[in-house]
Structure 1
Amino acid sequence: MPVFAVVEASFLHVGIVCFSAVKASSFPILTAGMNYYLAIIPFLGAVDAGLFGELKYEVEMLPPEDRRDDFCYSVADCRSRIPKLMDEWKAYFEYLQSAEQKTMNSAKSFSFVLDDALHYMWKAHVASIAYALPKFQDSLKYLAVPEANFGEDWANGVDFIAATHFSTDLQTTNNFQAFLPQRMLVEGDVLPSISGFSSQQNRVLVSLRALNRANRLTGMSPT
C-alpha cells in the first residue's frame, strides 16, 4: 500500500476510524465536536509535521458561534492548548514522511510498514477521543438513553479496535460497518433483540456494552 494512501485514509477517517461517522444522525453538537478532534486536529497535526511543505499563509479554522473555548483553530493555538495530542498526530505524519523519504532514496527496499503506521494512527486517534469525549459528554443527555449508551460503548470499544491495529482501508471498513447500527437508537430499543437489526448487529451492541461495563468495573483498558 502506498504511504500516502494511508494519509488519505487518516484524513477521511472512513467509517470505523471516526467515532461518529458511523452514526451520522447523532446529536449535532456531539457529532461535530468529536469529528473536529478526529478530522481537524489530525489535519493541523499534518500541517505541523510539514506534510504540505512551506505554506505561504498560516492555516487557521473559523470558530463556531457556540462553544468556542472547546476548540483550537491553528497549529500555534492547538500547540498551546493540547500539546500532547498535537504531538501524537505530528508523530504519525512524521513517520509517514520518513518512510516515504527512505523509500525514494532506496531502490532496493521499501521501508514503509503498514502495522507501524496503524500503530501511530490508532494511538493518535484514541488520544483524540480520550480528550474530546469528556468535553462533549454533556451532549449525551439530549439523546435517547439507548443511543447515549451506545455512544459511550463505542468510544470505549475503539480502544479494543485500536489495540488490534485494525486496518482502515475502504473495503475492510465497509464490510465492518454492516455490523453497526444503521439508525439512531431510540427509547424502547432493548438489547439483545432490537427490532429491525440483524442478529449480528444485536450481538455487536451486546458485546460493546459488556466491554464497557467490564472496563468500568475493573478500571482496565487495552491501550
Structure 2
Amino acid sequence: MDFIRTVVAFTLLAVLGQAAVVTENGLPFHWDKAPNELSKLDTVDGVIQVKPWDYLQRMALYKLLINSTDPYMSSMGPGEKQNPLWSLPLQLGWKLRSGRLTDPSSGSSSTCGLESSEPVCISPQSWYACVNYYLSVLPFLAAVQTGVIGKGEIQLKIEVPADVAQDYCSSYTDCSTKHPDAMTKWENLFQSLKDISHSDETDLIKKDKILGLLWAAEEASLQTASSACSERQKLYSSPEVRFGQSWLSSAAYVAAVNFHANIERSEKFMAPLPSRVLQESDKPPHIADLSAEENHTLYIFGWMHSVNQLLSGSLLNLWRSAMCSLQAREKGQSLLQDLILDPKFPGFSLMGILTEMTTSC
C-alpha cells in the first residue's frame, strides 16, 4: 500500500506545474509601482519617512540601491540586469507571492501580507519579513550614509511598529549601535565600490572582489536577523521551520562561491522554492500540490542542513575550504547549480568532490 501511495505521489508531481513564476515581465513583483526617487517618499520637517511595512516602499529601497550602484557594476557583464543586488528584491517578491509576508499567528484574521491587500502591507509578525528587514533597511541606510544614495546629508526616519520596536532599528545611528558588524560590512561594500570599479584590475578580479564584499555583508545581516527574528519562527509549522532554517543556512554555501546573483541566475535558483507556506502535514519530497522542482529543492536544502548538523559543521567548513581561489569558486557555482537544480545529481558524491577540490588549494 505504501508503495502504491509513493507511485501515485510521484505521478502527481510529474503532471503538476514546473518551477514557479518568480518575476513579472522579467522584474520583481510590482517593481514598476515602487518609487524610484527619495523625493517620492513622504517628508516631515525635512526628514524623509521610510515605511518598510509598506511592500512598495520596501521594494523602493531596493530600486534605489540598484539604480545607485549600477554605475559601479560594469565588471558584472553587459546588460541592465547584472547587478548582484537583484536577488534581494526577487526574494521579497517570492515571499509576497508565496504568502510568507503574512502574520503566521494561529487564528490571525489579518489580511496584511496578502498580495490582494490595499495598500500591499507587510506583517511585522512574519519571520520572513523580519529577516528581509535586515537585508533591506540596513544596506539602504549604509548606502545613504556613504553617499552612494543621495548627495549630501540626508535625514531619514525608519518607521518601526510600536509593539515590536525592540526587534528593529529606526535610523543609521540606531542600527549602527545595535548591529555594528552588519552595518560596518555594508558600509565597507559601498565605500569600496568606486575604488574597485575604477581600478586597473581585470573585470574578473573586480567582480570577485565586489561579490566577496557583498556576500560578507549579506551573511552578517542574516546572522543578525537569525537572532533578532527567532521568536517569530516559532509561529510556523515544523516543516516550515525546517525549511526556513535550511533556507537561511544555504546562504553560507552561496556566499562561499561569491555567487553572481543577477536577475537571470537568481530567477533560476528561486523558481523551485516552495510556492506556499508549508503545513504540519507536508512531508517533502512527497508534497502532492507542489511541483517536482519544489519538492527536490526542499529535499536538498533539508539534506544539506541535516548533514552539516550531523557532521558538526564539517560539510560547510569543507565547502568553504574548497572555494579557495577564483577558479575554485567558479567551479563551486556550477556544483551548487547541479546540486540544487538537477534531481539526478548524486548528492552523496559531494564530500568526495569537495575533498578533491580542497587538496588542490
Structure 1 length-normalised TM: 0.84
Listed as ranges, the matches of 1:97-108 within 5 Å are 97-100=194-197, 102=198
Counterpart in the other structure of 1:130: 223
Answer whether contact 1:9 1:169 (CA < 8 A) is retained.
yes
Answer whether contact 1:13 1:38 (CA < 8 A) is retained.
yes
The structure with the larger Rg is: 2
Deviations 1:151-173 (A, max 9, x none): 11100111111112221111111
Listed as ranges, the matches of 1:76-115 within 5 Å are 76-100=173-197, 102=198, 113-115=206-208
**Does structure 1 residue 202 correspond to structure 2 residue 295?**
yes
Structure with greater contact order relative to length (CA < 8 Å, sep ≥ 6): 1
What is the Cα deviation at residue 49 of structure 1? 2.0
Counterpart in the other structure of 1:3: 72
What is the Cα deviation at residue 198 of structure 1? 2.5
Q: Provide the C-alpha distance between the structure 2 equivalents of 1:69 and 1:86, rounded to a whole number of angstroms.
A: 18
SS at match of 1:122: helix
Counterpart in the other structure of 2:147: 50
Q: Provide the C-alpha distance between the structure 2 equivalents of 1:204 and 1:22, rounded to a whole number of angstroms.
A: 15
Deviations 1:30-88 (A, max 9, x none): 12211110000011111222213543442221222221121122222222221111111
Listed as ranges, the matches of 1:12-27 within 5 Å are 13-15=88-90, 18=91, 21-24=93-96, 25-26=99-100, 27=104
Q: In structure 2, list runs of 5 or more residues that go unmatched.
A: 1-69, 77-81, 105-122, 321-361
Counterpart in the other structure of 2:136: 39
What is the Cα deviation at residue 208 of structure 1? 0.8
Counterpart in the other structure of 1:159: 252
What is the Cα deviation at residue 197 of structure 1? 2.2
The 1:192–1:111 alpha-carbon spacing in structure 2 relative to 1, beyond 3 Å, is closer
Answer whether contact 2:138 2:183 (CA < 8 A) is retained.
yes
The 1:109–1:150 alpha-carbon spacing in structure 2 relative to 1, beyond 3 Å, is closer
The 1:168–1:109 alpha-carbon spacing in structure 2 relative to 1, beyond 3 Å, is closer
SS at match of 2:134: helix
Answer whether contact 1:144 1:186 (CA < 8 A) is retained.
yes
**Does structure 1 residue 72 correspond to structure 2 residue 169?**
yes
Answer whether contact 2:84 2:260 (CA < 8 A) is retained.
no
Question: Aligned pairs, how many?
Answer: 216
The structure where helix makes up a greater share of residues is 1
Answer whether contact 1:96 1:117 (CA < 8 A) is retained.
yes
Counterpart in the other structure of 1:173: 266
Q: Provide the C-alpha distance between the structure 2 equivalents of 1:12 and 1:206, rounded to a whole number of angstroms.
A: 22
2:148 maps to a residue whose letter is L
Q: Provide the C-alpha distance between the structure 1 equivalents of 2:302 and 2:203, rounded to a whole number of angstroms.
A: 41
Q: Provide the C-alpha distance between the structure 2 equivalents of 1:160 and 1:86, rounded to a whole number of angstroms.
A: 22
Answer whether contact 1:126 1:159 (CA < 8 A) is retained.
yes
Q: Provide the C-alpha distance between the structure 1 equivalents of 2:294 and 2:149, rounded to a whole number of angstroms.
A: 40
Q: Provide the C-alpha distance between the structure 2 equivalents of 1:175 and 1:40, rounded to a whole number of angstroms.
A: 25
Q: Provide the C-alpha distance between the structure 2 equivalents of 1:78 and 1:2, rounded to a whole number of angstroms.
A: 27
**Which shifted more, 135-144 or 34-43?**
135-144
SS at match of 1:13: helix
The 1:147–1:109 alpha-carbon spacing in structure 2 relative to 1, beyond 3 Å, is closer
Answer whether contact 2:272 2:294 (CA < 8 A) is retained.
yes
1:43 maps to a residue whose letter is F
2:89 maps to a residue whose letter is V
Q: In structure 1, list runs of 5 or more residues that go unmatched.
A: none
Q: Provide the C-alpha distance between the structure 1 equivalents of 2:87 and 2:292, rounded to a whole number of angstroms.
A: 29
**Identity in percent:** 26
The 1:135–1:152 alpha-carbon spacing in structure 2 relative to 1, beyond 3 Å, is same
2:143 maps to a residue whose letter is A
